[in-house]
Copies of this chain bind each other. A is one copy, B any other.
Amino acid sequence: MGNHREHPGFDVFSPRCPSRQTLENVTGRWGSLTLAALADGPLRFGALRRRIEGVSEKMLSQTLKALEADGLVSRTDHATSPPRVDYALTAPGEQVAAAVVALISALYAVLPDVLSAESSA
Query: Footprint of B on A, CB under 8 Å?
Result: 2-7, 9-10, 12-15, 18-19, 22-24, 26-29, 31-33, 36-37, 40, 51-54, 69-72, 91-92, 95-96, 98-111, 113-118, 121
Contacts and interface: CB of A to CB of B under 8 A. Distances in A.
A53 B99 contact: no
Contacts of A117: 69-71
- As for how many copies of this chain the complex holds, the number is 2
B4 A53 contact: no
B36 A12 contact: yes
B36 A32 contact: no
Nearest to A26: B107
B13 A53 contact: yes
B36 A4 contact: yes
B24 A114 contact: no
B103 A100 contact: yes
Given A37-B13, A71-B113, A92-B113, A22 B105 contact: no
